[in-house]
Structure 1
Amino acid sequence: MSDSEIFDRIAEEVYRQGYSVLSNALPVELCTALADEVKSLPVERFSRAGIGRQDAHIKTEAIRRDEICWIDNSTTAGHAWLEWADGLKRALNRRLFLGLFSFESHYAHYQPGDFYKVHLDAFRGQQNRVLTVVTYLNSDWPAEDGGELLIYPEEGKIPLLKVTPEFGTLVVFLSEEFPHEVLPANADRYSIAGWYRINSSGNGKVDPDA
């Protein structure tokens, strides 16, 4: 499928059910460039991930153990990814009138044994992250390597979805509505996590970066 067809399908599924999971959604050339980049980044570019934002940000390995590196326009692969994500943003705004304003994303590396327990990416009424985007950069990922993404209904403990972190798979869901977790990985697991946000600037205060 072309990018426009993929974007339209994501918009339709998000409208209908609040989430979309598509295999081989990311263009192969882009996915390959991102996978090559994340695996070649110096160790010092990564930092241990935490939870919460700004003053409330804390690091706790009881909840998550991945390490992250924020993506910007400073590399060819990063620029291409952000351009692709901007195209998806425009399509979603055109189809769903979400008012998506900005996008932030980072590489995530889960070493063997790493996980991220059940959490929400945003809480109702905070007007921060509206839509979550996850894509996977792992080629030849066997079932025994684990690391699946589980997505739960807003209320309930039985997963709606179990997503294998396979190369090029794209997951999009409403950030406020779907608790989710990453099961422990048994091999090095690479992905990108990103969030579209609305513009909540007001009263002389500019909407802050992550």
Structure 2
Amino acid sequence: MINFSADDTYLNDIEELGYTVIPNAINEELIIDLMADCYRINPQFSLAGIGRLNNLQIDDTIRKDKTFWFDGTSQAQLTYQATMESIRTTLNRTFFMGLFDYECHYAKYTEGDFYKKHVDAFKGRSNRVFTSVLYLNTPAQGGELVVYKTKSKEIEIIIKPQAGTLVLFESERFVHEVLPAIDNRYSIAGWFRKNASISGIIDPPR
């Protein structure tokens, strides 16, 4: 399992590029457990929406993936969240980001599913600071993550799903998309968040 404090390469990538790609970040045993958890809750996956809270909408012309938000009902989920908590602590210690918490969901893409170009946070209007994507399986074809250069239509990087690979990038900075899946693609999408609370009320997740 990745130890940021023992390998500055990934922290340097974040500082210089705004993103990093970490192969084999999560051990195989946990990946297996997380996949088993996906199979367990498969009937509970639902069409993903766009927006948050009262503004949440379903629009399958923009995205067609299915999601299940972590609910803490399995040891695999708790172990993964503990791992991401360790990463949150390291990011705060290194970059003084003031990251407050972490939220995440399973994402399932079946044949033909996609997510068109979007950003995970609009500048000054979101509490999402850093996006994470962990791949749980290795599809033979399709489902690549395409990240675009800042304020450009040029491609920065194309990432092929590979079980155990963790991707981190600045939520406000990078437009990205998921190309149509051909084989089933399972992942965990998550966000390290700052607390945008007002009058002592903690900003809600999602």
> How many equivalent pairs are there?
206
Q: Distance in 1 between matches of 2:65 and 2:126?
A: 26
Q: 1:6 to 1:135 in 2, by over 3 A?
A: farther
- In the other structure, the counterpart of 1:185 is 181
Deviates more, 1:32-41 or 1:171-180: 32-41
Matches within 5 A, 1:1-40: 2-5=2-5, 8-40=8-40
Deviates more, 1:13-22 or 1:25-34: 25-34
- In the other structure, the counterpart of 1:115 is 114
Q: 1:6 to 1:160 in 2, by over 3 A?
A: farther
Q: Distance in 2 between matches of 1:8 and 1:71?
A: 30
Q: Distance in 1 between matches of 2:93 and 2:169?
A: 17
Kept in 2, the 8 Å contact 1:72–1:79? The answer is: no
- In the other structure, the counterpart of 2:157 is 161
1:170 aligns with 2:166: yes
- In the other structure, the counterpart of 1:207 is 203
Q: Distance in 1 between matches of 2:6 and 2:41?
A: 29
RMSD over aligned Cα atoms: 1.6
Kept in 2, the 8 Å contact 1:70–1:105? The answer is: yes
- Give CA-to-partner distance per residue, 1:44-90, whole Å, 9 cap, x none: x1111011111211100000000000113221000000000000000
The TM-score with structure 1 as length reference comes to 0.93
Q: Which runs of no fewer than 5 residues in structure 1 stay unpaired?
A: none
Kept in 1, the 8 Å contact 2:65–2:114? The answer is: yes
Q: 1:30 to 1:3 in 2, by over 3 A?
A: farther
Q: Distance in 2 between matches of 1:54 and 1:42?
A: 23
Q: Which runs of no fewer than 5 residues in structure 2 stay unpaired?
A: none
Kept in 1, the 8 Å contact 2:2–2:25? The answer is: no
Q: Distance in 2 between matches of 1:148 and 1:6?
A: 29
The letter of the residue matching 1:53 is R
Instruction: For residue 160 of structure 1, give the secondary structure of its aligned residue in structure 2.
Output: strand
Q: 1:109 to 1:7 in 2, by over 3 A?
A: farther
Q: 1:8 to 1:72 in 2, by over 3 A?
A: farther
Q: Distance in 2 between matches of 1:57 and 1:7?
A: 39
